Amino acid sequence: MSTVLIIGASRGIGYETVRLALKQGHSVRALARSANTIRLHDPKLAKLEGDALDQRTIERALAGVDAVIQTLGVPPNPKLIFSGTRLFSETTRILVDAMEAKGVKRLICVTGLGAGDSRGHGGLLYNTVLWLILGRIYADKDVQERIIRRSRLDWTIVRPTVLTNGPRTGAYRVLVDARDWRSGSISRADVADFLVRQIDDASLVRKTPVLTR
């Protein structure tokens, strides 16, 4: 079993990943600004309150870690829609630099279909909505992906399609070939299922799979 740092752990995909990683026997460090709100209790769980933009926080959290899962997200409120964000690129730059300095190699990062070279693969409706509502947010995810790709880490960039709050089913598709990338939906719990599987699986290192049902 591994010791895993999960960034953005207090809700959504991050919370589901913490829950499942513990269930699978991993030791988990759950980093979030509101880590104290995580309603899980386990001897193998360490809740770390902190900001992913703080370099010292990240460096301390990485001590003795085998893998990092980054699941940061932002609510698409009007300010972000019109002004954009640099959260994804800035936190990732800090994280990658710290991981390289500390010798932690395995990074599993969630972005989304439409980021990087998957832009345009979602179909007309998906692409139009993504560009109109989340275009500026995804522009920062593009930068985030470039930072990861240029790193020396053993990275996997995970691109889920439209997220739902459905249950964990295990019935989802992992689309590695760009010719197969398409829109769809997937539950946050199923994304977590895939993320936890990657902790000890190197078959998708330096790959950018799209996840959908």
* pLDDT band for position 22 (cuts 50, 70, 90): very high
* pLDDT band for position 16 (cuts 50, 70, 90): very high
pLDDT tens digit sequence for 59-73: 999 999 999 999 999
Q: List the end-to-end C-alpha distance of the chain, in Å, as a whole number.
A: 28
Structural domain 3-212, CATH architecture: 3-Layer(aba) Sandwich (3.40)
Mean pLDDT of the chain: 95
Question: pTM score > 0.85 for this model?
Answer: yes
pLDDT tens digit sequence for 134-170: 889 999 999 999 999 999 999 999 999 999 999 999 9
Q: What is the pLDDT of residue 132?
A: 81
